[in-house]
Amino acid sequence: MSGAKILVVDDEPQIRRMMRATLTSSGHQVDEARTGEEALEKFREFLPDLVLLDLNMPGMGGLEACKSIRAGSDVPIIILTVRNTEKEKVEALDAGADDYVSKPFGMQELLARIRAALRRAPSSAESGPQGFVSEDLEIDFAGRRVRVRDKNVRLTPKEFELLRHLVAHEGNPVPHRELLQAVWGPDYGDETEYLRVFINHLRKKIEPSPAQPKYILTEPWVGYRFAIPEGSKPE
Amino acid sequence: MNAVLRLTIRILASVALVAAIVVVYYRLLPVNATTVALTMLLAILGIATRWGLTESLVASVVAVLGFNYFFLPPIGTFTIADPQNWVALVAFLITAVTTSQLSIRARERTAEVDARRREVERLYALGQAMLLSDSVRTSARDAVNSIMRTFEIPGAVLFSKVDDEFFRSDQQTLAISDEQLRWIATSEEPYIDPQRRIAIVPVRLGGQVLGSLGFMGSTLSTAALNAVTYLVAIGMERARSLEEGSKTEALRQSEALKAALLDALAHDLKTPLTSIKGAVSHLLTQPRNPEEEELLTIANEEADRMNRLVVEVLEMARIEATKFHPDRSPHSVAEIVSTAVKAQEESLQDRRVELHVPELLPAAEVDFEFIQQVLKQLLDNALKYSPPGTPLTISAGVAGEKIVISVADHGKGIPEAEQARIFEKFYRGRGSRDAVLGTGLGLSIAKGIIEAHGGRIWVTSQPGQGSIFSFALPASKKELVP
């Protein structure tokens, strides 16, 4: 996908220059911000299709900026940072990021990640389940709506895709790699921590008691399984 | 001399008092004999209470003589035979003796109460002095000085067993020898020498022997001695825990500082690398001619190598400079091994990896990410240092309370002389210095990580037969939670 509007947020001018040059020459439209505060401002004016966000910035850091953007928008956010411990990845994903790339990175890899983040899964109208109804959970995949105990719940696109894939294989464990490739893209497969974070978010949103899930079950060392409690039916 | 003079004056005063009574009643105020006797009794009572036995006895005798001569008929003569005379004498003497005894006892008790009160005040002062000092050495010296000052004794000595040091107020305390102090420190009972006025008391707190305390010219009661040593014990322990606390805090702060510095350094080194790598890798997607492609490829690879170097050097610094704390939890050995092999899939290519991991192994108590790094390093090395096409073997087993994981290759092996050195920083095997890319840090980092887990890493190798790198990790006592 070319021609996306990308907001690059980084306090290092050389990195912004490099990103502007490479992304522009790959056909994208680029705007820059130097701090978290500026990122929020530019986000409203520029209305980007995707945000590339550095974590370590003076003033409002990347994590906080990520949370603020995510609070009002589903735009894909990719974190770019020099740190690469699992703890930091999980923190970033928890703050609402879709993906995490550690610096330094090859441009090919970053462009692939950008493509994957911008790619929306094909409409579910023709493939996969239409929805799911039980006494306390109602999912309408075509209308992209989820109701929990008669209240609308907002899922991010990644959470929605994850849930759709699990429901499509209801009753069967779906391996980590398969879930990652279905939701993030074919280049993914080892990022099990992504799944941990997103499954956690999903459980908080749809499970009556997230610590003892009844819909989204963990299959140790394998993956996850969507279970249908007694008395509910897929549509 | 002074006391004799004082006694003489008192006796004279007592006699004068009795004489005055005689003069008053005989010359100025004639009354009957009973009144005179009662007045005299009062006077003796007063003298006995105020002064003591000797004074009142003298006064009693004088009073009997005066009473007999001036007031008992026949007046003007001593009539020894008269029973009234004996009654008066006995009454006066009993009064004198009893009263003086009672008052002496009362005075003694007051003095004793005073002494106890003073001791308590001094103990309180000592307690305050001990609690004000915040290092062990100053607190020991303060204790010795405060004891001398507050109890007004000529010398004191404190032996601190933990530091094996003696704190003496001055040379004269050498009358108490080092050996005596050491010996009393470990004994249960205090040593008291009333003749030389020396006391040595063990200092202990909650059964723990801290040392001993020697008193010169001591007049302290046993209770006071015990209280003093208890105070000193508390003071010493308090000072020690304060000292240790501030040491730990300083250590923690300097570690946090080092970690923050290394973080900043990582950021500053990687930022220019990010620009270089980004620019070069982008140009590499559309090279204009083969020469340009070759040069860009070199730049790209070298940027990667530079990055590896930065990562490894910083990691080594982090493990060495800060106290590295792995975040440990129980993990299945099978998962540790299979995750590491999966992560290396790409570089393994056509290499066969034989796994010998028994199903029923206890879990390992490890930081998963860091152990992955160790296995990656060992697999990397095995790949680098063995000929293409030869298989690798990963095995796991239990040895005592440890879990041992080994990576074996069919390479050239490592000469015995080099086996110990390959875990040293920047050391690179003779045969590999030019042939294989690397920083010489990988195995030292692996060693640092394993040792931070309380484990051990080693190599066994025979030239020509290949090498086996093994590491032992603590087995988990907890249940495995998937």
Domain boundaries, chain A: 5-118, 131-234
**Alpha carbons B265 and B259: distance in angstroms, whole number:** 10
- Fold annotation for A5-118: Rossmann fold (3.40.50)
pLDDT confidence of residue B272: 92
State the count of interchain CB pairs (< 8 A) between A and B. Answer: 66
Contacts with B276 from chain A: Cβ below 8 Å = 104
The pLDDT assigned to A85 comes to: 81
Name the residue of chain B whose CA is nearest to A17's CA: B275
What pLDDT was estimated at residue A124? 43
pLDDT value at A231 more than 60: no
The DSSP code for B173 is: G
pLDDT of the residue at A1: 47
Predicted confidence at residue A234, as pLDDT, reads: 52
CB-CB contact of A68 with A96 (8 Å) = no
Q: Is B346's Cβ below 8 Å from some Cβ in A?
A: no
A24 min Cα distance to partner chain B (Å): 11
Mean pLDDT by 10 residues, chain B (482 residues): 84 90 86 84 86 84 84 76 74 80 85 84 77 70 80 86 85 85 85 86 82 83 81 82 80 77 85 93 90 92 89 83 79 89 82 87 88 91 87 90 91 84 76 62 88 90 88 79 48
Return the percentage of chain A with pLDDT > 90, whole number.
48
Name every chain A residue with its beta carbon within 8 A of the beta carbon of B277.
104-106
pLDDT confidence of residue A98: 92
Map tokens 């790339």 to a residue: A101
Q: Which residues of A10-29 are buried (b: 16+ CB within 10 A; e: fewer)?
A: bbbeebbebbbebbeebebe
Question: Predicted confidence band at A232 (pLDDT cuts at 50, 70, 90)?
Answer: low
Shortest distance between the Cα of B250 and any Cα of chain A, in A, equals 27
The contacts of residue A151 (CB under 8 Å, 6+ apart) are: none
DSSP output for A18-35:
HHHHHHHHTT-EEEEESS
Contacts 24+ apart (CB under 8 A), B25-30: B25/B70, B25/B71, B26/B70, B26/B71
Question: In the prediction, which pLDDT does B458 show?
Answer: 93
Asked whether the beta carbons of residue B270 and residue A25 sit closer than 8 angstroms, the reply is no
Query: For domain A131-234, is the CATH number 3.40.630.40?
Result: no
Whole-number pLDDT of residue B298: 92
Which is nearest to B303 in space by CA: B346, B274, B323? B274
Of B276, B279, B369, the CB nearest to A86: B369
Which stretch of DSSP H or E encloses residue B353?
strand B353-356
Enter the tokens of residue B390: 């030869």
Q: Provide, as residue numbers in chain B, all residues whose Cβ is less than 8 Å from the Cβ of A107.
A: 278, 281-282, 285
CA B49 to chain CA centroid, Å, is 56
Beta-carbon separation of B282 and A85 below 8 A: no
Residue A56: what residue type?
N
Query: Are B274 and A17 within 8 A, CB to CB?
Result: no
Report helix, strand or coil for B81.
coil
CA angle in degrees (0–180, nearest 5) for A57-A63-A66: 110
Write the pLDDT tens digit of every residue in A38-76.
999 999 999 999 999 999 888 888 999 999 999 989 899
Whether residues A104 and B343 touch (CB distance < 8 A) is answered with no
A68: closest CA among A37, A30, A101? A37
Residues with Cβ within 8 Å of residue B275, at least 6 apart in sequence: A12, A14, A15, A17, A18
pLDDT of residue A123: 46
Q: Name the DSSP letter for residue B367.
A: -
Show which residues on chain A lie within 8 Å of chain B, measured between beta carbons.
12, 14-15, 17-19, 21-22, 25-26, 56, 82-83, 85-86, 103-108, 110, 190, 218, 220-221
**Do B482 and A110 make contact, defined as CB atoms within 8 angstroms?**
no
Domain ranges of chain B: 2-113, 132-246, 250-321, 329-474
* DSSP characters over chain A: ----EEEEE-S-HHHHHHHHHHHHHTT-EEEEESSHHHHHHHHHHH--SEEEEES--SSS-HHHHHHHHHHH----EEEEES---HHHHHHHHHTT-SEEEESS--HHHHHHHHHHHHPPPPPTTTSS--EEE-SSEEEETTTTEEEETTEEE---HHHHHHHHHHHHTTTSEEEHHHHHHHHT-TT--S-HHHHHHHHHHHHHHH-SSTTS-SSEEEETTTEEEE---TT-EE-
Q: Which of B97, B71, B95 is nearest to B84 (CA)?
A: B71
Q: What is the pLDDT of residue B378?
A: 92
Give the CATH H-level superfamily of domain B329-474: Histidine kinase-like ATPase, C-terminal domain (3.30.565.10)
pLDDT value of position A110: 94
| Interface contact flag, A15 B275, Cβ < 8 Å | yes
Please name the CATH architecture into which domain B132-246 falls: 2-Layer Sandwich (3.30)
Helices (H) and strands (E) in chain B, counts: 13, 12
Nearest Cα to Cα of residue B212 among B171, B178, B244, B169: B178
Q: Which of B216, B159, B199 is nearest to B182 (CA)?
A: B159
